[in-house]
């Protein structure tokens, strides 16, 4: 085995064309005398030291010798280069891994977004439920307030009506009779519910439950009779003239003046027989001369009531 600076340990692995056209330069230390450079020329096919030629090169006249470049041709590697298919496969493998990683990240982002949307929708649904509950409570409260105000309005209507007709507060036999005629002095056609309730309560408190009015009995019958009388006639007005004591000290006789107007409704409901069809003109009959004379006439009647 060769040893030396010109023969490395792995020289048996190197080819002959590994080193070619290499110029070895040995620079001699400058001295006062003449100096020369010795250049070794190695042939491309040199395999031993005997093939090395020593060529003396005269020293240049310039005191400074520029450095020369050494060109070395490196041998081709003995290891095979990877093929293009293997490179493409590696790139595809890396690309697939990147795609899987990107898809995983995108999936996580989508899942986080959906989770956030779910939380937002749930929060919005709860807010809407609370809002609707508050709205229902508000509507219920407003309904209660409206009903309470309506009740108060009805009570105030009763008070206003009582004050307008001068109903006394201290009740005796005389005051109760006076209040009765004041309550029905204009009839009782379509009264407000509050006034209707007040009139019914007054009759129940002031009269016996089996009070008799003509052929009818009870306070409800009296109230129904006044309502029917007011529906049949227009411009009903009952004026209390005076009270007279009866033979017994527990009863009074009221002297009244009642005025009514005969209207078409009165003719159809009270005097239908005055029409030729016998049904108040329902079938297009003709009114008799008496019926035509009664129409729109004002009747004033004096009477008494015990």
Mean pLDDT split into 10-residue runs, the chain, 306 residues: 60 60 52 47 46 47 48 48 59 70 85 90 91 91 88 74 57 76 79 75 77 76 84 86 73 84 86 79 78 85 78
Domain identity same for 220 and 252: yes
pLDDT at 94: 66
Domain identity same for 45 and 102: no
Tell whether the torsion through CA atoms of 227, 232, 235 and 236 is positive or negative. negative
What distances in angstroms separate CA 283 from CA 105, 263, 265, 288, 292, one per listed residue?
91, 19, 15, 15, 17
Q: Which of 165, 199, 216 is the last residue of a domain?
A: 165
With respect to residue 223, please indicate whether it lies within any of the assigned structural domains: yes
Asked if residue 207 lies in contact with residue 218, where contact means CB atoms within 8 angstroms, the answer is no
Domain identity same for 10 and 123: no
Three-class SS state of 39: strand
Tell whether the torsion through CA atoms of 207, 153, 185 and 224 is positive or negative. negative
With respect to residue 82, please indicate whether it lies within any of the assigned structural domains: no
Q: Which domain holds residue 13?
A: 1-73
- First-to-last alpha carbon distance for the chain, in angstroms, is 164
For residues 254 and 182, what is the distance between their CA atoms, to the nearest angstrom? Answer: 12
With respect to residue 67, please indicate whether it lies within any of the assigned structural domains: yes
What distances in angstroms separate CA 219 from CA 142, 165, 202, 204, 251, one per listed residue?
37, 21, 9, 6, 18
For residues 246 and 237, what is the distance between their CA atoms, to the nearest angstrom? Answer: 25
Helix/strand number for the chain, H first, E second: 6, 8
Residue 45 is classified by DSSP as: T
Domain identity same for 105 and 153: yes
pLDDT at 97: 73
Domain identity same for 121 and 200: no
With respect to residue 180, please indicate whether it lies within any of the assigned structural domains: yes
Domain identity same for 60 and 106: no
With respect to residue 86, please indicate whether it lies within any of the assigned structural domains: no
For residues 259 and 301, what is the distance between their CA atoms, to the nearest angstrom? Answer: 6
Domain identity same for 118 and 201: no
Domain identity same for 180 and 148: no
Polymer length in residues for the chain: 306
Q: How far is CA 39 from the centre of its chain?
A: 99
For residues 51 and 251, what is the distance between their CA atoms, to the nearest angstrom? Answer: 171
Task: Please choose, from the candidates 304, 50, 52, the residue with its C-alpha nearest in 3D space to the C-alpha of residue 177.
Answer: 304
Residue 248: which CATH number? Answer: 3.10.450
> How many domains, in total, are found in the chain?
3
Domain identity same for 186 and 263: yes
pLDDT at 51: 45
pLDDT at 62: 47
Can you tell me which residue has the tokens 């439920």?
129
Asked if residue 231 lies in contact with residue 201, where contact means CB atoms within 8 angstroms, the answer is no
pLDDT at 170: 58
Domain identity same for 251 and 290: yes
Domain identity same for 151 and 182: no
What are the phi and psi torsion angles at 43 (to 5°)?
-75, 160
What distances in angstroms separate CA 286 from CA 274, 289, 294, one per listed residue?
8, 9, 14
Domain identity same for 181 and 128: no
Which contiguous run of DSSP H or E holds residue 198? helix 193-206
């Amino acid at each position: 085995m060769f040893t030396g600076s010109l023969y490395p340990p792995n020289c048996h692995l190197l080819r002959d064309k590994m080193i070619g056209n290499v110029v070895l330069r040995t620079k001699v230390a400058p001295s006062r005398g003449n100096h020369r450079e010795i250049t070794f020329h190695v042939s491309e096919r040199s395999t031993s030291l005997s093939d090395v030629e020593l060529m003396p090169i005269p020293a240049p006249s310039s005191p400074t010798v520029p450095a020369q470049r050494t060109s070395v041709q490196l041998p081709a590697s003995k290891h095979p280069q990877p093929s293009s298919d293997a490179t493409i496969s590696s790139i595809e493998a890396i690309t697939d891994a990147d795609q899987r990683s990107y898809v995983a990240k995108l999936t996580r982002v989508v899942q986080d977004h959906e989770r956030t949307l779910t939380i937002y929708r749930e929060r919005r649904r709860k807010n809407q439920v609370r809002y609707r509950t508050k709205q229902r409570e508000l509507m219920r409260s407003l309904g209660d307030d409206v009903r309470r105000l309506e009740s108060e309005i009805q009570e105030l209507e009763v008070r206003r009506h009582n004050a307008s007709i001068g109903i006394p507060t201290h009740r005796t036999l005389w005051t109760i009779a006076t209040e009765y005629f004041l309550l029905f002095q204009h009839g009782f056609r379509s009264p407000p519910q509050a006034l209707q309730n007040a009139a019914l309560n007054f009759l129940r408190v002031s009269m016996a439950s089996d009070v008799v009015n003509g052929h009818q009995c009870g306070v409800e019958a009296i109230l129904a009779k006044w309502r029917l009388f007011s529906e049949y006639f227009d411009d009903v007005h009952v004026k209390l003239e005076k009270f007279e004591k009866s033979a017994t000290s527990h009863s009074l006789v009221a002297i009244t003046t009642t005025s009514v107007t005969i209207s078409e409704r009165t003719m159809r409901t009270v005097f239908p027989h005055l029409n030729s069809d016998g049904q108040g003109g329902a079938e297009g009959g003709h009114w008799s001369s008496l019926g035509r004379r009664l129409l729109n006439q004002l009747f004033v009647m004096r009477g008494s009531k015990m």
